[in-house]
Chain A
């Protein structure tokens, strides 16, 4: 491997961008492929499959044995709202291997007692996301019901292309949300990416059941996603 490839790979990993090192196992030549790169032919298919699955492996392309080492950032979940559902969702998400963060400016909700062992920020999403921005490998679940808190992070999630964007609220609430977003210049195609009502339809009734429905939807979206990123 060239040092240049390793240096660039480490930069991509630092910035939570997917990257792949393609090594020709016959002649030792290496190449760094980024998710936005266009790769033609049989290798292109293998590259796309690798980014989608996040799995590394050996492929045979035009008689050459190639090793594709996929480096995909670990998925994260940002929850807006330190509400009852979030208490269960933080636990389920951690179980599924997600890094989790909860943001809620309402200090009555965002207490360490209610979210023991969870990364919790009792600030406005506008302020928190400035320091730690969302990205394509982050899921955003907005659960406060309050447009003053939910709208900004939802729009930001659509803008950066979070792999999952979900918003709690009835169909009626969501219709009002779409009117506001439309007035704010969000396109119809972008708005279609919002999962609302949030969660898989498993007729969930309790906060814990809703949390399971939300997590299942996040996992499904991540595992079935196409090419993500800019």
Chain B
């Protein structure tokens, strides 16, 4: 058996849910160019805005957390897209010049 690592965001999400917290999971589903985190990377967010993991090198996490708050309250999934060219739309961008698509969903009840 492998021990749960301290920074395992999927373990933390399960633990948060067990503690009765609302949780959203953001996942990098596509990347173009030099994206900092690979497809499949997660950022997990609780209802208070605490988060663990990453979907970029720290460039867009703030925006994803804000969107996740809406996803938690509405229960509706959201697809976000970030890239240098999207600065006007999202007011954040990836300094590396890549582009990423991030899927945000609420962790549902068992």
Contact = CB atoms under 8 A, between A and B. Distances in A.
A31 to B, nearest CB: 13
A3 B27 contact: no
A67 B29 contact: yes
Contact of B105 (A14, A28, A55, A57): A28
Contacts of B40: 56, 69-71
Contacts, number: 59
A10 B14 contact: yes
A204 interface: no
A25 interface: yes
Interface residues of A, number: 23
Contacts of A56: 38-40
A16 B77 CA distance: 30
A15 B110 CA distance: 21
B109 A57 contact: no
B70 to A, nearest CB: 15
Contact of A1 (B4, B11, B29, B105): B105
Interface string A1-22: 1111011011001111000000
A57 B77 CA distance: 18
Interface of B: 1-2, 4, 10-11, 13-14, 17, 25, 27, 29-30, 38-40, 77, 79, 103, 105, 107-110
Given A25-B29, A58-B30, 7 more contacts: A2-B108, A3-B14, A6-B10, A6-B17, A10-B14, A14-B4, A55-B39
Interface of A: 1-4, 6-7, 9-10, 13-16, 23, 25, 28, 55-58, 67, 69-71
